[in-house]
Amino acid sequence: MNSSKYNNESGVLIMENVIEIKKLSKSYEMGDTEVKVLDEIYLTVKKGEFSSIMGPSGSGKSTLLYLIGGLDKPTSGTIEIDGEELSSMDDKQESIMRRRKVGFIFQFYNLIPNLNVEENILLPILLDGKKMKNHKNELDEILDIVGLTERRRHTPRELSGGQQQRVAIARALINDPEIILADEPIGNLDSKTGTGIMELFAKINKQKGKTILQVTHSKEAAEYGQRIINIKDGRVLLS
């Protein structure tokens, strides 16, 4: 899948920006003091790019990811996802954006315990009001990609950590979103399983052309991507 396009006049390959962040700030009230987590950040992520946000604990990397995914609200600044500004969206539009344009993967998998693998994967489809049976092919394909075809009827409790994270990845992919946001996706896994997951990310990035933006502490994990965004004290150091 090609995520770039050519400028007709110059014939130069242009990479489209799918994420554009301008002057983004986020602060919290802690007692009487205001804690600034992100301080006027500018950042763009191009379509098809596999980027990793790195930085010390408390630097604001996860907060940045949550703001991009619309899971949290910025104090100031703008975030554009595929040309649409998040702050102008109401709850419904934001929810639709989370279902269709963004797939989120968390460190602790965050699966729904009373739903089985298939149902967890199909959640975004269900929430989109679509019929599950109409998405059987996509489901089969994704289950194949994440290697969980045999475990499709199991509940999260019956899966290992790595398998649960694969279900989370499959859930992020099911609606064929443009962007995959992953918050320390291997932070809770052993190194062997983590490697498997990162290889899966790389495969998805390459084969499906998905834009992946991950937060990680691991240099090895970051090296699976093409770009490292370093954050310190709420500011982007190197992009």
Partner 1 sequence: MSIVTKFILKNISEKKFRSFLILFSIIISTALFFSSNAITNSVGKMFTERVKSFYGSTDVLVQSNSNSASPFFTMDKIGRFSGKIDSVTGIVQGSANYIYNKNETLNFTMIGIDYSGYSKINNIDLEGKTFPAKFDGKLAIIGQRTANKYGLHTGDTVHLEMNGVNTNFTIAGIAKQTGLFMNDGITKFIIVPRNELGSLYGSGGKVNLALIKLKSRQDTKQFISDLSKEYKNYTVKEPYTKEELSSLTGGMATGLLIMSIMIAAISIFIIYTSFKVLTMERLPVTGTFRSVGATGKMTNLVMMAESTIYGILGGLAGCLLGIGVLYVLTTLTGSDMLSSNTSIPGNSDGGNVAISFTAAQMGFSFGFAVILSFISSIIPIIKISRIPLKDIVLNNIEVKNRKSRKRLFIGIAIVTAALIGPPLFPFSIAGITDIFCIIFTIAAVILLIPYITSACTILLEKVFGKFFGNEGILASKNVRGSKSIVNNICLLAVGISSLIMMNTAGGSEVAMLTKLYKSADFQVWITSMPNADKSMTDSIKSIDGVSDVYPIYRASKILIDGTNGRSLGLLDGVDKAKFQQYWKLDWYGDGNKLLNGLDTGRNIILANTMEKVLKVKEGSEITLKFPSGNRVYKVIGFANTTIGDGSYGLISENNLKTDTGMKYYNNIFIKTGKNPNAVKQEILDKFAGVKPALKTVVQMEQDDRDALGNTFTILNGLSIVTLIVSIFGMLNNLIISFIERKRSLAVLKSVGMSKRQIIKMVFIEAIAGGIIGSMAGILAGLLLVRNIPFTMEAMDMFISVQYPSWSLLLDAFIGMAIFTAAAISPAIKSSKLKIIESLKYE
CA 52 from chain center: how many Å? Answer: 11
Q: How far apart are CA 142 and CA 139, in angstroms?
A: 5
Minimum CB–partner distance for residue 48 and partner 1 (Å)? 23
Positions 172 through 201 that interact with partner 1 (CB under 8 A): none
Nearer to partner 1, 47 or 101 (CB): 101
User: Side chain identity at 14, as an amino acid letter?
Assistant: I
Phi first, then psi, for residue 58 (nearest 5°) are 80, 10
Q: How far apart are CA 38 and CA 25, in angstroms?
A: 5
Q: How many CB atoms lie within 10 A of CB 148?
A: 21
CB-based contacts of 101, cutoff 8 Å, min separation 6: 81, 82, 177, 178, 179
Nearer to partner 1, 123 or 202 (CB): 123
Minimum CB–partner distance for residue 108 and partner 1 (Å)? 8
Q: How far apart are CA 199 and CA 221, in angstroms?
A: 9
Q: What is the token pair recorded at 229?
A: 């965004």
Pairing of strands 227-232, 235-238: antiparallel
SS3 202: helix
Stretch that binds partner 1, among 8-16, 65-73, 192-200, 212-220 (CB under 8 A): 65-73
Q: What is the token pair recorded at 29?
A: 């009230």
- The answer to whether 201 touches 209, Cβ cutoff 8 Å, is no
Stretch that binds partner 1, among 112-120, 134-142, 198-206, 210-218 (CB under 8 A): 112-120
Asked if 207 interacts with partner 1 (CB under 8 A), we say no
Q: Which of 47, 61, 171, 210 binds partner 1 (CB under 8 A)?
A: 171
Asked if 166 interacts with partner 1 (CB under 8 A), we say no
Asked if 60 interacts with partner 1 (CB under 8 A), we say no
Stretch that binds partner 1, among 35-43, 98-106, 202-210, 227-235 (CB under 8 A): 98-106
Asked if 115 interacts with partner 1 (CB under 8 A), we say yes
Minimum CB–partner distance for residue 95 and partner 1 (Å)? 4
Nearer to partner 1, 83 or 129 (CB): 129
Q: Residue numbers of the site for partner 1 (CB under 8 A)?
A: 66, 69, 71-72, 91-92, 94-100, 104, 106, 108, 110-115, 119, 123-124, 126-130, 157, 171
